[in-house]
Structure 1
Amino acid sequence: MKLASTSSRALRPVAALAAAGLLAFGAQAQDKPVELKLAHWVPPNHALFKTGFEPWSKSVEAASKGTIKVSIFPAQQLGKAADHYDMARDGIADMTFVNPGYQAGRFPVIAAGELPFLVSKPGPASAALDAWYRKYAPTEMKDVKVCLAHLHIGTIHAKKPITEPAQIKGMKIRSSNATNAAFVSLLGGTNVQVSAPEARDALEKGVADALSFPWESVVSFGIDKAVKYHTDMRLYASNFVWAMNKNWYDKLSASQKKVIDDHCNNEWAAKVGAGWGDLEDAGQGKLEKAPGHTIVKLTPAQMDQWRKAAEPLYVQWTQNVDKAGVSGKQALDELRKEIDARKAN
């Protein structure tokens, strides 16, 4: 009897674990299949599709055991690039790819990531931006669930060689975001406000003389047909947010929410930023070898001119954020600490 009693007690934890496993399996089995409509505005052959949207979607589907099916809508199929934040808010798509800088002044805090020469390594910088912005996203982007944030780094591509900031005066520049546009204005240039998919057309029609763009995207958007000179510097960064419709997320089962939460984290932000950034940077080598294209090198003195010319933008950003009720100095100090900790510059 004692032996039997001891065996019985020993088996109880095993039975409890088995029961818990069956319950977990039952909960997973009862998850209703759902579709996640992911909308973005870059072309299907874009580097971000290969390094971000596709692997992320496949991982979500696998982790959810097929109960979350991701349908990707590229190239502005569901709406214009500048509308993607509102598309996520309104449920036109369940997740969207947002460039906050396409709507000047609407998201002043995250614009810190756009400040010139602040970062130079897209992977670590994306991790820094994402970690830092999680404190501010619930207030600044309260209409959506922010999945992750990342960035890319680019330069100026033009119809003539650009080596000094003084050359921007009188030029028509397609800017990558609001901060970049402010820099162009500060230097005496005229901003051409078109999204990335519309940039080539603006150049070919003479509406723009140059544009701010990352390297590989110059090729994937066909912009290499319209500009031939590419300045070799880390001029700017553009921030991006993957924004999710709150109602879509709230309707998920507990296990499905965990899948999404496990894919909306700093690890994925760093992974997407590094994957995309490395492919973008590789585009410089392609253009260097392409017939008729010139990589414009800068001297240290010329780089100092660019950095000095950008200093007023830091003051302007701090003032804008202060007006929004956030300490600009504190926020920028926090971001710089994250950047330094990850050796992103």
Structure 2
Amino acid sequence: MNFVRNGMLATTAALGLMVGAAQAAEVTLKLGHHVPAEHSTNREYAQYFADLVGDLSNGEIEVHNYPGGQLGGQRDLLEGLELGTVDMTYADLGVIANYDLALGVLDLPYVFDSIDHAYRAMDEGLLSAVQARVDKATSFHVVGMIPVAFRDTLLADKDVETLDDLKGVKIRTPQAPVLIDTFRALGANPTPIPSGEAYTAIQTHVVDGMEGHKEFIYAIRVPEVAKHWVETKHNLTFNLLNISDITWNRLTEKQQATVMEAGKKAGEHFRTANAEIDDQFRQKLKDEGVTFSTPDLKPFREATAPMVESFVKDNDASDLWNIIEKTR
């Protein structure tokens, strides 16, 4: 009898564990993005967010993170959000600006004085304003936003000491309207190419170089084929963490609140973790033989100022611009 009784108890316990496991996996979400697994925005933001959702929901919501373009490039993933084939992604704000050009005001050249300025603006209404615009223009919802780093320019065969040195230079950019217009205003020849093809495009002289921030360019190994870093600091990269409306509407109010809380906490964590990353990767680039030049940026700002003024006016972006100016 004891053997039977103990066996029944063991079976009951096992069934209980199976039921508990089923309940723990009540919601499973796919989070895909383009950034390599070793990149800080994956480690300290996307994966941190995924782990935090599991903790805050007591295992009820499970987020599977797919870095490095496993589920597609940025545009593919954003389209997947709209179709409901992907639950979540994070992408450059400049790419999301294809849905609402006014969002590109955050990508305008030389509009943020520092990353601290960006955080002040976010805290004082910029994040809410971006969320409202994305909600209106797309079929996905912004869970969080982070300023990552200022973008510079890396060239294969030449240094840039003055603005004139950029004239006619072919620069790889993402498919981001404001970045494309920025390099046109600087006299260069912007060429949109997916980030996964940037290395080969430089190696085969399809383009002369690319723009971006230090860690990302280092992570995709471009310094193997380009050694001249120009500190143009032409814009500040923002990443937006997004969830498909189709997925969002499947969640309960409690689950939605959990996802948003995790997004907020992940952003706070990244703010702390990101503080030293830019300097670390400057040194890593130097160790790879990359040389740095720092041109006088006043002519760069002057060359792009008319573009900034026109952009704000032509794209009805004064709501976003006013917050940036107020917090300068």
TM-score range (shorter-chain normalised) is 0.7 to 0.9
Q: Which moved more, 1:92-101 or 1:136-145?
A: 136-145
Q: Which moved more, 1:272-281 or 1:236-245?
A: 272-281
SS of equivalent residue, structure 2 residue 297:
helix
1:150 is aligned to 2:146: yes
Q: Structure 1 residues 121, 84: CA separation in 2 closer, same or farther (over 3 Å shift)?
A: farther
Partner residue of 2:173? 175
Considering only CA atoms, is the larger Rg found in Structure 1 or Structure 2? Answer: 1
SS of equivalent residue, structure 2 residue 239:
strand
Q: Structure 1 residues 35, 104: CA separation in 2 closer, same or farther (over 3 Å shift)?
A: closer
Asked if 2 retains the 8 angstrom alpha-carbon contact of 1:123 and 1:273, the reply is no
Q: CA deviation at 1:171?
A: 0.9
Identity over aligned pairs, percent: 20
Matches for 1:21-32 after TM superposition, within 5 Å: none
Q: Which moved more, 1:200-209 or 1:184-193?
A: 184-193
Q: Structure 1 residues 103, 96: CA separation in 2 closer, same or farther (over 3 Å shift)?
A: closer
- Distance in 2, matches of 1:279 and 1:217, equals 11
SS of equivalent residue, structure 2 residue 240:
strand
Partner residue of 2:225? 226
**Aligned residues, how many?**
301
Asked if 2 retains the 8 angstrom alpha-carbon contact of 1:100 and 1:111, the reply is yes
- Distance in 2, matches of 1:258 and 1:112, equals 29
Matches for 1:58-97 after TM superposition, within 5 Å: 58-97=51-90
SS of equivalent residue, structure 2 residue 38:
coil
Matches for 1:316-335 after TM superposition, within 5 Å: 316-322=310-316, 328-335=317-324
1:46 is aligned to 2:39: yes
Partner residue of 2:201? 202
Q: TM-score, normalised by structure 1?
A: 0.79
Q: Structure 1 residues 194, 270: CA separation in 2 closer, same or farther (over 3 Å shift)?
A: farther
Q: Structure 1 residues 197, 75: CA separation in 2 closer, same or farther (over 3 Å shift)?
A: same
Matches for 1:94-105 after TM superposition, within 5 Å: 94-102=87-95, 105=98
SS of equivalent residue, structure 1 residue 44:
coil
Structure 2 unaligned regions, length at least 5: 1-21
Asked if 2 retains the 8 angstrom alpha-carbon contact of 1:114 and 1:236, the reply is yes
State the one-letter code of the partner of 1:308: E
1:118 is aligned to 2:111: yes
CA RMSD of aligned residues (A): 2.4
Q: CA deviation at 1:111?
A: 0.9
Q: Which moved more, 1:184-193 or 1:136-145?
A: 136-145
SS of equivalent residue, structure 1 residue 264:
helix
State the one-letter code of the partner of 2:309: V
- Distance in 2, matches of 1:285 and 1:120, equals 23
- Distance in 2, matches of 1:145 and 1:316, equals 28
Q: TM-score, normalised by structure 2?
A: 0.83
Partner residue of 2:293? 296
Asked if 2 retains the 8 angstrom alpha-carbon contact of 1:124 and 1:270, the reply is no
Q: Which moved more, 1:114-123 or 1:154-163?
A: 114-123
Q: CA deviation at 1:247?
A: 2.5
Q: CA deviation at 1:262?
A: 0.9
- Distance in 2, matches of 1:283 and 1:186, equals 28
For residues 83-114 of structure 1, what are the alpha-carbon distances to aligned partners after superposition, in whole Å with 9 as ceiling and x for unaligned?
22221121111111122423664321221111
Q: CA deviation at 1:235?
A: 2.2
For residues 187-222 of structure 1, what are the alpha-carbon distances to aligned partners after superposition, in whole Å with 9 as ceiling and x for unaligned?
332221012222112111111102111012221111
Q: Structure 1 residues 205, 104: CA separation in 2 closer, same or farther (over 3 Å shift)?
A: farther
Asked if 1 retains the 8 angstrom alpha-carbon contact of 2:112 and 2:324, the reply is no
Q: CA deviation at 1:136?
A: 4.2
Q: Which moved more, 1:141-150 or 1:98-107?
A: 98-107
Asked if 2 retains the 8 angstrom alpha-carbon contact of 1:174 and 1:191, the reply is yes
For residues 278-324 of structure 1, what are the alpha-carbon distances to aligned partners after superposition, in whole Å with 9 as ceiling and x for unaligned?
4244211211233x3211133xxx221111112122123113322xx
Asked if 2 retains the 8 angstrom alpha-carbon contact of 1:157 and 1:227, the reply is yes
Partner residue of 1:255? 254
- Distance in 2, matches of 1:105 and 1:61, equals 32
Structure 1 unaligned regions, length at least 5: 1-28, 323-327, 341-345
